[in-house]
Amino acid sequence: MANENNTISITYREAIKQALRDALRADERVFLMGEDVGRYGGAFAVSKGLLEEFGPDRIMDTPLSESGFVGAGIGAAIAGMRPVVEVMTVNFSLLAMDQIVNNAATLLHMSGGQVNVPVVIRMNSGLGRQLAAQHSHSWESFYAHIPGLKVLSAGTHEDARGMLLAALKEPDPVVIFEYTAMLNLEGKIPAGAGIVEIQKAAIRREGKDISIITYGPGVYKSLEAANELAKLGIDAEVVDLRVLRPLDESCFLQSVRKTHRALVVEEAWRSVSISAEISSRIMEQAFYELDAPVHRLCGVEVPMPYPKHLEDISVPQAGDIVNMIKKILQHD
Amino acid sequence: MENTIDRDHGKQMLYQMMLIRRFEEKAAELYTQTKIRGFLHLYVGEEAVAVGVMQALKTDDNILSTYREHGHALARGVDPGRIMAEMYGKQEGCSRGRGGSMHLFDAGKKFFGGNAIVGGHLPVAVGVALAAKKQKAARLTCCFFGEGAAAEGEFHESMNLAMLWEVPLLFVCENNLYAMGTALRYSHSLPQIELKGSAYGMESMAVNGMDVLAVEEAAIRAAEKIRSTGKPFLLVCNTYRFRAHSMFDAELYRNKAEVEEWKKQDPITALQNLLLEQGSLDAAAISELESTVETAVQKAVGFAEAGSWEPVEDLTRFVYSEPQNS
Ligand SMILES: Cc1ncc(C[n+]2csc(CCOP(=O)(O)OP(=O)(O)O)c2C)c(N)n1
Ligand SMILES: [Mg+2]
């Protein structure tokens, strides 16, 4: 529904679907493939209706063969198509990781620049629905580790609406993380929202006391925390990394130079993580700007347990962010 | 079903199938009451496969299964109360509540889970069978999976390895015609899954998975083959799931008439009718069975309700093995 400010309310799910529809309409080379994207309507109902609209040549249901169809997407990309390959969730992407890491990310380099791979690989990530230890992974860091890939994390509705369209313009492989826990969330986007740029991080809320640097579901949790903190007179800035590879470090470094404090928030496990990378870059490049050590709030290092009370405490919640920031500022 | 069947044995298999059916219906009900969360994949319609195959297994044999494993666990004799408590997430559950519906484990019953990565347990099953071979044990390993899983590379690698190494492994493919919403014809170039055995030189057969006697007979034959030759066997049970893939499935991919058609082959009704016809059971005996089942399911729910939550301080337990108290 459009309102006077010319914004519309939309769910995260619908935003992705609109992007898919735009992409399929705009370029005949684009096709969507993955498990249950067609007849089932998408495991998360994201592509519901697209089969009827575009037909089975463009909305291809694949068997359970992750390595096979991701590899086929890579092949189709090097041969002139623009495949959007959906791997239902990041949990299953491990079966395709060889294709992504050893083929998509390397063919350009190994061929001395002759063979580029314009494939877009989308996958759902994250937790929050009591799906236990094999269905709750946050593995952005695995892919962010790989030179040759571009890795995007859609932490807002605008990015859910626009990142895919930008990714399809890239000559190189792009992995887009979408978040299961956010699919039903309503958000506001400009009525004419479409493609977004995919080079830069974004400041989602300006503040002067501390920089919360995060991505994915960390974004809305951090904004929620920042609102709470504002009631206490604490003015937090929220940085949404958006592009996990290559990192836009100038954005968060600039933010830290302004606030002099940083808290990095992610749902993923702490060791060898994105937050570890952010923290060390701040240390390397903005150490003398800091008034406090860089802090991190990450997922507890345990395979995700099923019961809700254990799942809830396995990842940082808005309340944890509030408490941690109160502590950091008192410890000045 | 033209055969006749021993009265007590028939009654026992009927009881098991009825128990699975009622347990699953109860689980669905509890899911809508939010007592059970996460993913819940029901086995309704496929009961003859678990119960039939289990007749061929001995207590020392190993079992590995999928996320649709409540029926296998029940037929194996895992305590219904501990299964229900697991689905509640209570620490009295068979996996301490850590696993939930998709990850039922009972090492004492040689029931090694509940795997939710499609095809992920197949290579593991090869290894479990390989261990038995190396240990010169008579033990057989049985691995359940769906026809959708047979499209995964891990299925093909496992078939090859099992045959190459000649390990005592019974592959049981539960062909219920759908992998989520993807019908068999959209996922397999060769839809007769049993024919895939020949690519690896592995003996195989397909059986009517709605007929518990046929499944039992085929499984016993397959198990005997495996025990006598030491080689693996692929048994395909053609069956159908009456309910949605999971609780999140709008079933856009199949029509109600198809489901109703399959319900005419309900494996429980079929066995009931056979037992009635041959005079082994009467209506009174069946309603007595029903009430025994109802009591067992109620008891399981009661056990789960009375269970306790694991303390939050224990969150990081079981990431690594704990030192044994000696
Ligand atoms: C590797 C992997 N890919 C995708 C999924 C999502 N998924 C779960 S069950 C399923 C269908 C499996 O079908 P089938 O093997 O026939 O078993 P059924 O559910 O019919 O018993 C899919 C696609 C998964 N769990 N693991
Ligand atoms: Mg199936």
Query: Residues A263-286: pLDDT tens digits?
Result: 999 999 999 999 999 999 999 999
Q: Return the CATH number of the domain spanning residue range A202-328.
A: 3.40.50.920
- For A311-329, the pLDDT digits (tens) are 999 999 999 999 999 999 9
- For B252-277, the pLDDT digits (tens) are 999 999 999 999 999 999 999 999 99
- The residue nearest atom 22 of ligand 1, judged by CA position, is B180
Task: Name the percent of chain A lying above pLDDT 90.
Answer: 97
**pLDDT score recorded for residue B5:** 86
* Segment A42-63 mean pLDDT: 97
Query: Hey, how many other C-beta atoms are within 10 angstroms of the C-beta on A301?
Result: 13
- Inter-chain touch B37–A134, beta carbons under 8 Å: no
Tokens standing for residue A157: 């509705």
Contact B226, B140 (CB under 8 A): yes
CA A54 from chain centre, in angstroms, equals 27
Q: Is the pLDDT of residue B69 over 70?
A: yes
**What confidence category does residue A5 fall into, taking pLDDT thresholds of 50, 70 and 90?**
confident
The verdict on B83 touching A (C-beta cutoff 8 Å) is: no
The enclosing H or E element of B267 equals helix B267-277
CA B151 from chain centre, in angstroms, equals 19
Q: Is B209 a pocket residue for ligand 1 (Cβ < 6 Å)?
A: no
Which DSSP string do the residues of A239-259 spell out, in sequence order? EE--EEETT-HHHHHHHHHHH
Tell me the shortest Cα–Cα distance from A321 to chain B, in angstroms: 19
User: B196 lies in a domain?
Assistant: yes
State how far the Cα of B243 lies from the Cα of B82, in Å rounded to an integer: 24
Among A65, A306, A309, select the one facing B152 at the smallest CB separation.
A65
User: B52 lies in a domain?
Assistant: yes
Q: Where are the beta strands (DSSP E) in B131-168?
A: 141-146
The fourth-level CATH superfamily of domain A7-190 is: Thiamin diphosphate (ThDP)-binding fold, Pyr/PP domains (3.40.50.970)
- For A202-220, the pLDDT digits (tens) are 999 999 999 999 999 999 9
Strand order in the sheet with A243-245: A59-61, A30-34, A82-89, A120-125, A174-179, A150-153, A243-245
Show the DSSP H helices in A83-216 as ranges.
90-93, 97-98, 107-110, 140-144, 157-167
Q: Is B118 a pocket residue for ligand 1 (Cβ < 6 Å)?
A: yes
Pocket test for ligand 1, best of A67, A88, A124 (most atoms within 8 A of CB): A88
| Torsion angle of C-alpha atoms B179, B181, B183, B187, degrees rounded to 10 | -60
Q: Is the pLDDT of residue B1 over 90?
A: no
Contact A316, A299 (CB under 8 A): yes
Active-site entry in A14, A35, A52, A66: A66
**What confidence category does residue B4 fall into, taking pLDDT thresholds of 50, 70 and 90?**
confident
Q: Which CATH number goes with the domain that contains B175?
A: 3.40.50.970
User: B325 lies in a domain?
Assistant: no
Instruction: Give Cβ neighbours of residue A38 (< 8 Å, ≥ 6 apart).
Output: A47, A50, A51, A56, A59, A60, A61
Among A63, A95, A306, select the one facing B89 at the smallest CB separation.
A306
Beta-bridge mates of residue B179? B182
Q: Is B116 a pocket residue for ligand 1 (Cβ < 6 Å)?
A: yes
Q: Is the pLDDT of residue A331 over 70?
A: no
Residue A4: active-site member: no
Q: Is the pLDDT of residue A307 over 90?
A: yes
Beta-bridge mates of residue B207? B237
- For B220-249, the pLDDT digits (tens) are 999 999 999 999 999 999 999 999 999 989
The C-alpha angle with vertex B185 and arms to B180 and B189, in degrees rounded to 5, equals: 120
Q: Is B69 a pocket residue for ligand 1 (Cβ < 6 Å)?
A: no
State how far the Cα of A47 lies from the Cα of A206, in Å rounded to an integer: 35
Q: Is the pLDDT of residue B180 over 60?
A: yes
Q: Is the pLDDT of residue A242 over 80?
A: yes
Residue A66: active-site member: yes
* Segment B131-139 mean pLDDT: 97
Q: Is B218 a pocket residue for ligand 1 (Cβ < 6 Å)?
A: no
Task: Supply the range of the domain harboring residue B216.
Answer: 7-304
ipTM of the assembly? 0.96
State how far the Cα of A243 lies from the Cα of A277, in Å rounded to an integer: 13
Tell me which chain B residues have a C-beta less than 8 angstroms from the C-beta of A134.
102-103, 115-117, 120
Please report, as a single letter, which amino acid is at residue A211. S
Contact B168, B226 (CB under 8 A): yes
Query: Hey, how many other C-beta atoms are within 10 angstroms of the C-beta on A46?
Result: 24
- For B301-310, the pLDDT digits (tens) are 999 999 999 9
Please report, as a single letter, which amino acid is at residue A270. R
Q: Is the pLDDT of residue A4 over 70?
A: no
Q: Is the pLDDT of residue B326 over 80?
A: no
User: B313 lies in a domain?
Assistant: no
**CATH 3.40.50.970 location in chain A:** 7-190
CA B306 from chain centre, in angstroms, equals 27
Among A35, A306, A308, select the one facing B98 at the smallest CB separation.
A306
Contact B46, B176 (CB under 8 A): yes
User: B264 lies in a domain?
Assistant: yes
Count: domains in chain B: 1
**pLDDT score recorded for residue B3:** 67
Q: Is the pLDDT of residue A332 over 50?
A: no
Report CA(B259)–ligand 2 centroid distance (Å).
Answer: 14
Show the DSSP H helices in A169-292 as ranges.
217-231, 249-259, 274-286
